[in-house]
Amino acid sequence: MIVNVNGMDIFYEKTGEGSPVVLLHGNGEDHGIFDVLSDELSIDHAVYAMDSRGHGRSGKARELSYESMMEDTARLIRHLGLNRPFVYGFSDGGIIALLLASRYPDLVRGIAASGANLDPQGVRAKYIRILRVIHFFTRSRKVRMMLTQPDISDEELERIDVPTLIIAGSQDIIREEHTRHIAGCIRNSELVILEGEGHASYVVHSRKLYGILKPFLDRIEG
């Protein structure tokens, strides 16, 4: 379904019934990466898997930023009348989830963010070099966003007061010390480093993610 919020056509797919869960994909992807996760979560929850602006079936955008995508998400939650959903975000979606919980703490029940970073320096240097080469040849606005954003301060993280799960793979493109720093700044947070996993290996079309998220979700709802 497509709705217009924040001046943008945003596509989302709803499956299941129950307490609401919102899923946010990464850069250059769409909600389809969560096909397996959505099927499993929808047994007990109403799952809303959305496409960020400029991605998938959502509208093209003149402005592409984590701030604007966070506002899109906040306004979609309000538009749909969702009662404090749990929000999970992967990569860019994780950044959006962190911003959402910091700016609108009363809007969400809890969040989980995997493979998220506070600034481009949180990405391992070799991947920054790869992104610069890709941007040189493609001039992709999505890639440029990763090279120049986000800019989340420790103070913003410290404002997050909802239950938070921070996840990353031991082989993630995000530096492990950066992930640990994020978790350390957030009260009431839990940290999971998945040994042997990369940035997306446990997320995209994977059954592993449900086993990580569901126990945390059950705890904060119970």
Q: pLDDT (tens digit, 9 = 90+) per residue, 155-203? A: 999 999 999 999 999 999 999 999 999 999 999 899 999 999 999 999 9
Closest by CA to 12, choosing from 71, 66, 107, 79, is 79
Distance, in Å, from the CA atom of 152 to the CA atom of 156, rounded to the nearest integer, reads 6
Domain annotation for the chain: domains and CATH numbers = 2-221 (3.40.50.1820)
6: exposed, middle or buried (Cβ count in 10 Å: 0-12, 13-18, 19+): middle
% of the chain surpassing 90 pLDDT: 97
C-beta neighbour count of 122 within 10 angstroms:
20
Q: What is the pLDDT of residue 62?
A: 84
Give me 12's structure tokens. Answer: 């989302």
Q: What is the pLDDT of residue 188?
A: 85
Give pLDDT, residue 222. 82
Sheet order of strands, 8-15 included: 2-5, 8-15, 45-50, 19-24, 86-90, 110-114, 164-169, 189-194
Average pLDDT over residues 206-222: 95
The pTM for the full model equals 0.97
18: left (phi over 0), alpha (psi -120 to 50) or beta: left
**103 band by pLDDT with thresholds 50, 70 and 90:** very high
Per-residue tokens: 86: 């749990």
Cα separation, 159 vs 205, in Å, equals 32
- H-helix segments, the chain: 35-41, 66-80, 92-103, 125-138, 141-148, 154-158, 176-185, 208-221
Predicted confidence at residue 148, as pLDDT, reads 97
Query: Looking at the DSSP assignment, which residues form a beta bridge with residue 140?
Result: none
Whether 3 contacts 79, CB under 8 Å: yes
Per-residue pLDDT reduced to its tens digit, 23-56: 999 999 999 999 999 999 999 999 999 999 999 9
3-state secondary structure of 110: strand
- DSSP notation for 28-40: T--GGGGHHHHHH
